[in-house]
Amino acid sequence: MDNTKKILIIGISGGLAQILAKLISQNHPEWKIIGVDSRRVNKVEALDNLSAIRMRYSRGNFEALFREHQFDTVYHLARVSHITQFYKDLTKRLELNVMGTNRILDLCLRFNVKKVIVLSTFHVYGAYSDNSIFLTEDAPLRASLNYPELRDVVEMDQICSTWMWKHQNSINSVILRPCNIVGTQISNTMTQYLQSRFAIKPIDFNPIFQFIHEFDMAKVLYRSIDELPTGIYNVAPDDFISLGEALNLTGHKGVPFPVTMASLFNKVLKFSNLDIPEYLIDYLKFSCLIDNRLLKKHLGDDFNRFKIDETLKLLKY
C-alpha cells in the first residue's frame, strides 16, 4: 500500500507556511510537498521532500499544477494582506483573495483532492462593543460593515464556507479562524506592533487579547489533515491577556493615547514605519475574544504548547 501523500502549500514564502512544511517533513519524510508562491522563494528553507516554486497565481498555472501532481491535501495560506504595499488597493486584493480562492476550490473539486484547509482570521467577526464575550463559529461576520477594506477577507471566508457545506459529501474541508498569530518568523501586523517601541496603547481602556504562537498555529494546521472533520474552527488558547500586560511582556510600555485620538496618533506613527491598519484601532477599543471549544473537542485541551506569557516573551529575541 502506497502511503505517500502529495501536499500543496499555497503561500510557501510565508513564515507560517514554512514552519508547517517543516512539521510535515519531520513527521512524514515520505510525503511530497509542493510549495508555491507569487513572491520569491529563494529564502524558503530547503527540505528533502519540499519543492518550492515561484509562479503567478493564474488559473492556467494552477490547473497545470493540479493536473501534474494529483494532490491529496491542499493548504490555502495565501490570503494577500493589506499591509503589503502593492496590495493596498482593494480591487487587486479582491481579485487575488476572492477570485483566486474560487479558482483554487474549483480545481480541488475537479481533481479529487481529499482535504482542503483554508486559513482565515478572527478579524472577520469585527470588533464591536456588543460582541459576545466569546464569539463562536456561528457568530455573524460583521468586519466589513464599518471597514470596507476588510471586504475581501470576509468575502473569502464566506465563499469558502458556502463551498465547504455545498460539497461536504465530496470533499473534506476545514476553515480555520485563528486569533492573533505572533512569532519571530512571521511579519504580520500584530507581531510588528508588539515589537515596536512606538506601539500605541489606550490610556482610558485596557482591552483583552488572545495570542497564539506561530508554532502552535502550524501544529493546528498540520493536525487538521487527519484530526479535524469538515467545519469551521476558531483557533485560540484558553488564556487571554490585557494589552498593557502584553506590551510589558514584550519589553515595551507603549505610547499612551486617549481612544478619541487613536486615528490621529496612528497617522503620525506611520512615519516610524509602524503602519497599523485603521480597522485595528477598533481592536484597541473593543475586546474581541473567540471561543475554542469546538477545536478542543477534536484536538484536546492541550493542543497548544506555549502559554500566552511565553509566547509574548519570545518576541523580545
What integer is the mean pLDDT of 79-88?
Answer: 48
The neighbour count for residue 126, using CB atoms within 10 Å, is 24
Cα Rg of the chain, angstroms: 19
Amino acid letter, residue 299: L
* Packing angle, helices 100-110 and 59-69, rounded to 10: 30
What pLDDT does residue 4 have?
A: 87
Q: Measure the CA–CA gap between 251 and 247, rounded to whole angstroms.
A: 6
Number of neighbouring beta carbons within 10 Å of residue 110: 11
**pLDDT at position 92:** 53
Greatest alpha-carbon pair distance for the chain in Å reads 64
Mean pLDDT, rounded, for 206-213: 92
Beta pairing class for 73-76 and 115-119? parallel
- How far apart are alpha carbons 39 and 280 in whole angstroms? 26
Q: What percent of the chain has pLDDT over 90?
A: 60
Q: Mean pLDDT, to the nearest integer, of 233-260?
A: 87
Bigger pLDDT: 160 vs 255: 160
- How many Cα atoms within 13 Å fall on the side-chain side of residue 208? 12
Instruction: Please tell me the predicted confidence (pLDDT) of residue 33.
Output: 98
Question: Who has greater pLDDT, 56 or 211?
Answer: 211
The answer, yes or no, to whether residue 103 has pLDDT greater than 70, is yes
Q: How far is CA 191 from CA 172, 181, 244, in A?
A: 32, 8, 15
Residue 84 pLDDT exceeds 90: no
The pLDDT of residue 259: 65
Cα angle, residue 311 at apex, residues 307 and 313 outer, rounded to 5°: 115
Give the pTM: 0.91
- Kindly indicate the confidence band of residue 87, based on its pLDDT and cuts at 50, 70 and 90: very low
Of 192-201, 263-272, 294-303, least confident by mean pLDDT is 263-272
pLDDT at 57 over 90: no
Cell 495565501, residue located: 78
* b/e code 204-217 from CB counts within 10 Å (16+ = b): eeebebbbbbbbbb
SS3 for 80? coil
> Residue 238 class from Cβ within 10 Å (0-12 exposed, 13-18 middle, 19+ buried)?
middle
pLDDT value, residue 26: 96
Whether the predicted pLDDT of 1 surpasses 90: no
Alpha-carbon span 90 to 279, nearest angstrom? 14
Residue 24, CB-side half-sphere exposure with 13 Å CA sphere? 32
8 A C-beta contact, residue 290 and residue 134: yes
Which pLDDT band, with edges at 50, 70 and 90, does 262 fall under? low
- Distance (Å, whole) CA 317 – CA 313: 8
Is the pLDDT assigned to residue 185 strictly greater than 90? yes
Question: Which residue segments constitute the domains of the chain, with CATH numbers given?
Answer: 6-316 (3.40.50.720)
Confidence of residue 198 (pLDDT cuts 50, 70, 90): confident
pLDDT at residue number 144: 78
Q: Give the list of residues 6+ apart from residue 88 with CB closer than 8 angstroms, or none.
A: 82
